Amino acid sequence: MRPVTLFTGQFADIPLEQLAAQAKQWGYDGLELACWGDHVDVDRAAKDKKYAQGQLDLLARHGLKVFAISNHLAGQLVCDLNNDARSDLFAPKSCAGNASAKREWATTAMKNTARAAKNMGLKIVNGFTGSSIWHMLYSFPPVSEAMVEQGFADFAKRWNPILDVFDECGVRFALEVHPTEIAFDIITARRALAAIGHRKAFGFNFDPSHLHWQLVDPVRFLKAFPDRIYHVHMKDAALTLDGESGIISSHLNFGTPGRGWDFRSLGRGGVKFEEIIRTLNILNYTGPLSVEWEDALMNREAGAAEACRFVRNLDFPKSDRVFDEALRK
């Protein structure tokens, strides 16, 4: 059976020692550590092997393992335009209001995330890439193909040097395909791979929730990239269209009545997880099933515990035979 882990991004306000104890009580095998809060300091872990080992030892004391670390916040700023105050939240205060300073900090942070992962004995880093062309999504004012092509070229220019460090460290980067990233569906994921020459350092952290609400088939995504599924997030979402709101959410925050879609605790949305597990078996994916818990209308501790039980009940090992082979002589 695949290990069941919890992504700590939505719990990063809880000290790691305390969260580890809770996660063990909830039934998890390990944690997917967010690179913020006190969960992993990548700049320190990149240089201090004792600190890197200490984070592993802390979890081991609670019977937990680590299979991946995730640096979504820094990754977002690598290609983001960084031209408003939202991105100030992700970078040091000294970078506030300075787009180039935020990008420079983020690029260094992502390189150090690869080094930190190496020092922790890990092979996978999850995260975001950002995108210089997401704001052009609607294509009005008119967007030329050259503008879109430039966005993918910008992604390759900014991420290839980062991926060089990942290669040096023997670590792979798994993009969580997601709106506001250079790849947000199957078509853009193909284009992103082509932009960087299909280098093996770059693959995907499969998260069906972001595909589901866009009306993209998550199982089809798995089948489209069978050799690029480096990590798996378990997260649910629900379409809640009511005839007034639209799929682009009407500027309503998560959990607001009338919003056209929302994240849900596992098993309480519309994602068909049964087919996902079956497809992962076909693809021989043996890595962790990592719960990314998000539900604006549910207590997170209750949700994290319930989600762990849901994944354990759902997962099953791949068969080593066709069911009627026992009838043969």
pLDDT at position 322 is 75
Amino acid at site 134: W
Q: How far apart are CA 308 and CA 23, in angstroms?
A: 9
Q: Which residues pair with 132 in a beta bridge?
A: none
pLDDT < 50: residue spans in the chain:
none
Q: Name every residue whose Cβ is closer than 8 Å to that of residue 275 and which is 6 or more positions away in sequence.
A: 219
Of 104, 105, 120, 123, which Cα lies nearest the Cα of 47?
120
pLDDT at position 319 is 84
Torsion sign, CA atoms 33, 35, 41, 47: positive
pLDDT at position 320 is 80
- Strand ranges (E), 35-94: 69-70
Amino acid at site 70: S
- pLDDT tens-digit profile of 43-97? 999 999 999 999 999 999 999 999 999 999 999 999 999 999 999 999 999 999 9
pLDDT at position 327 is 66
- The label of the residue with tokens 């597990």 reads 277
- pLDDT tens-digit profile of 237-265? 999 999 999 999 999 999 999 999 999 99
Amino acid at site 309: R
Q: Which residues pair with 284 in a beta bridge?
A: none
Domains of the chain by range and CATH?
4-327 (3.20.20.150)
User: What one-character DSSP code corresponds to residue 141?
Assistant: T
pLDDT at position 1 is 87
